[in-house]
């Protein structure tokens, strides 16, 4: 081959062909990848196109945005889309097609249409949301109740973020004296790793889910806002199905991210997340305080009611007692009267009975006396009749020996003396003969 | 006892007292118990549990 070219000659040729055939700039739809910025402020990236079905990359081109262009485009893009210019975005860019002898094919970006990206993001969000909906998980986290005591909070944030500091400060300085317990699960909230890093933090919290009441995903204070990871399906599906309620405060001005849509509650800033928890706890505290006040007031009412009832009751008791007593008094009066009358009657009866008894007694006694008198008279007559004097008069005598009356012949001894007593004298005799009779 | 159980019981006590169906002896007893429940609930919301924070800090 005599007609050969050096590489440089070839590349120069290609460069000329490219330049001549692509004299204009062209609007190109592509996805960004590997976006990076160098120290001079130039932005280097890859534009790729994926097969919509297989997701395989079917086209690729290097791209560059020179610093002076990038400065303008970046802020314009961000203000329009609410997100930073970064990897993984669908973009519509106006490019000039370049070929450099040394660096090869590349596209130099001269303009960007943020509305396309907005549309792309919206479309992407729609797809993610539709998928979550189809899987029936979209509203799962929203349906979780926030417990009455919700003060153990797992925080997903960058440890150094100003927003994290604001969040902690806000919780600690709440005016109700509410107590909160927080645990940081650090995650990169932006950049290439943010998605994986947030999911890893969620997994860590899941392992310790019994120790927490809720999760706060916060972000704030960074210069750039990059929200792609908050629209990603893996982050969204993890959050939607998380067993603890998730409250987000990822500090962006754009309408909403998918994460905001699936989270239990979504507020703008980390401080607002803290306020949410404070409000919730303050409400719980207020409910207790309300119950306490109701209790105190009704207890007070009940006590004063009891007191007045007691006063009424004691008045009642007094009056009833008086009435009762006076009734009793008059009843007793009646009884006394009746008793007196009855006693009088009894007394009269007794008196009469006594009188009669006395008469009967006297009669009986007189009868006894009379009969006794009669008996005594008979006895006197009898005693008179049997008195020794009269007996002796009738011819009987009394025999006495040695001063003793002799009533039997057996005690007599012959030749001894005995005295015989008569009614009017006595005689002494000597016993001549003794004759004893058998009786 | 959990906070929710305590609050529920407390609400029931307040309701029963407000309905006026309790006599004065029961009332005294209930009010005393309610006071304990209130203290328990308030403590849960406002009193720092250092053990709990330590346990959270120890999660690796």
Per-residue three-class SS string for A99-156:
EECCCEEEEEEEEECHHHHHHHHHHHHHHHHHHHHHCCCCCCCCCCCCCCCCCEEEEE
Domain total for chain B?
1
C-beta atoms of A299 and B53 within 8 A: no
Task: Determine contact, residues A74/A35, Cβ cutoff 8 Å.
Answer: no
Task: Determine contact, residues A377/A369, Cβ cutoff 8 Å.
Answer: no
Chain A interface, mutation test: which of B51, B59, B60, most A Cβ atoms within 10 Å? B59
Domains and CATH numbers, chain A: 7-131 (2.40.50.140), 152-282 (3.40.50.9100), 391-430 (no CATH)
Of A148, A182, A298, the CB nearest to B7: A148
Cβ–Cβ contact A322 with B under 8 A? no
Which tens digit of pLDDT belongs to each residue from A98-124?
999 999 999 999 999 999 988 888 888
Residue A327 token pair? 């009734």
Which tens digit of pLDDT belongs to each residue from A39-50?
999 999 999 999
Query: Within 10 Å of residue A72's Cβ, how many Cβ atoms?
Result: 12
Q: pTM here?
A: 0.64
pLDDT at A224: 47
Reduced to 3 states (helix: H, G, I; strand: E, B; else coil), residue A189 is: coil
Q: How confident is the model at residue A1 (pLDDT cuts 50, 70, 90)?
A: low
Name every residue whose Cβ is closer than 8 Å to that of residue A232 and which is 6 or more positions away in sequence. A128, A195, A258
pLDDT at A186: 95
C-beta atoms of B56 and A152 within 8 A: yes
Reduced to 3 states (helix: H, G, I; strand: E, B; else coil), residue A236 is: helix
Task: Give ipTM to 2 decimals.
Answer: 0.89
Q: How confident is the model at residue A145 (pLDDT cuts 50, 70, 90)?
A: very high
- The answer on pLDDT for A355 being more than 80 is yes
Instruction: State the nearest Cα–Cα gap between B60 and chain A, in angstroms.
Output: 9
Cβ–Cβ contact A172 with B under 8 A? no
Instruction: State the nearest Cα–Cα gap between B21 and chain A, in angstroms.
Output: 11
Shortest CA distance to A294 belongs to which of B47, B19, B60?
B19
Q: How confident is the model at residue A325 (pLDDT cuts 50, 70, 90)?
A: confident
Shortest CA distance to A193 belongs to which of A91, A266, A88, A77?
A88
Domain that holds residue B44: 3-58
Contact list, A149 vs chain B (CB under 8 Å): 3-4, 44-45
pLDDT at A222: 52
Contact list, A152 vs chain B (CB under 8 Å): 52, 56
Which tens digit of pLDDT belongs to each residue from A276-321?
999 999 999 999 999 999 888 887 887 787 788 878 888 888 888 8
C-beta atoms of B24 and A285 within 8 A: no
Which residues in chain A (141-160) have CB-CB distances under 8 A to chain B?
Answer: 147-149, 151-152
Cβ–Cβ contact A179 with B under 8 A? yes
Share of chain B above pLDDT 70, in %: 100
Q: What are phi and psi of A96, to 5 degrees?
A: -100, 145
Q: How confident is the model at residue A330 (pLDDT cuts 50, 70, 90)?
A: confident
Which tens digit of pLDDT belongs to each residue from A251-271?
766 667 899 999 999 998 999
To the nearest whole number, what is the mean pLDDT of chain A? 88
For B9, the closest chain A residue by CA position comes to A291
pLDDT at A245: 97
Cβ–Cβ contact B36 with A under 8 A? no
Paired sense of beta strands A181-186 and A246-249, if any: unpaired
Of B17, B47, B56, the CB nearest to A179: B47
Of A149, A211, A287, the CB nearest to B44: A149
Distance separating alpha carbons of residues B22 and A420, to the nearest angstrom: 124
């Amino acid at each position: 081959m005599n007609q050969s070219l050096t590489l440089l000659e070839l590349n120069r040729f290609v460069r000329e062909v490219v330049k001549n055939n692509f004299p204009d700039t062209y609007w190109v739809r592509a996805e960004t990848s590997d976006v990076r910025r160098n120290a001079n402020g130039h932005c280097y990236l890859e534009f790729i196109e994926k097969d919509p079905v297989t997701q395989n990359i079917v086209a690729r081109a290097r791209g560059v945005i020179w610093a002076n262009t990038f400065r303008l485009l970046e802020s314009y893009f961000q203000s329009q889309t609410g997100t930073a210019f970064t990897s993984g975005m669908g973009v519509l860019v106006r490019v000039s097609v370049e070929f450099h002898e040394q660096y090869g094919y590349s596209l130099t970006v001269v303009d960007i249409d943020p509305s396309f990206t907005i549309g792309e993001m919206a479309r992407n969000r729609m797809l993610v949301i539709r998928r979550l909906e189809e899987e029936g998980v979209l509203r799962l986290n929203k349906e979780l109740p926030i417990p009455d005591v919700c003060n153990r909070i797992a925080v997903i944030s960058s440890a150094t973020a100003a927003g994290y500091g604001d969040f902690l400060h806000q919780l600690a300085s709440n005016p109700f004296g509410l107590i909160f317990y927080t645990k940081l699960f650090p995650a990169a909230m932006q950049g290439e790793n943010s998605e994986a890093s947030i999911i890893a933090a969620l997994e860590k919290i899941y392992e310790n889910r019994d120790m927490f009441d809720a999760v706060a995903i916060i972000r704030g204070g960074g210069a750039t806002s990059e929200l792609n990871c908050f629209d990603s399906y893996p982050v969204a599906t993890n959050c939607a199905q998380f067993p603890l309620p998730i409250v987000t405060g990822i500090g962006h001005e754009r309408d909403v991210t998918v994460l905001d849509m699936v989270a239990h509650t979504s507020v703008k800033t980390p401080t607002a997340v803290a306020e949410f928890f404070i409000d919730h706890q303050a409400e719980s505290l207020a409910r207790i305080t309300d119950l306490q006040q109701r209790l105190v007031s009704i207890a007070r009412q009940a006590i004063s009611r009891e007191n007045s009832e007691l006063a009424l009751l004691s008045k009642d008791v007094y009056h009833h007692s008086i009435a009762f007593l006076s009734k009793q008094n008059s009843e007793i009066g009646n009884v006394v009267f009746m008793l007196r009358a009855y006693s009088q009657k009894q007394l009269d009866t007794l008196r009469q009975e006594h009188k009669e008894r006395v008469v009967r007694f006297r009669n009986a006694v007189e009868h006894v006396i009379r009969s006794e008198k009669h008996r005594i008279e008979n006895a006197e007559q009898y005693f008179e009749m049997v008195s020794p004097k009269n007996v002796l008069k009738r011819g009987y005598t009394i025999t006495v020996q040695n001063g003793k009356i002799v009533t039997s012949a057996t005690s007599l001894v012959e030749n001894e003396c005995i005295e015989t007593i008569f009614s009017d004298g006595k005689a002494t005799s000597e016993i001549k003969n003794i004759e004893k009779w058998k009786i | 006892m959990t906070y929710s159980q305590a609050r529920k019981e407390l609400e029931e006590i307040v309701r029963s007292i407000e309905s006026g169906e309790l006599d004065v002896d029961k009332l005294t007893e209930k009010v005393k118990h309610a006071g304990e429940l209130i203290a328990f609930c308030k403590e849960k919301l406002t009193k720092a549990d250092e053990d709990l924070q330590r346990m959270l800090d120890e999660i690796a």
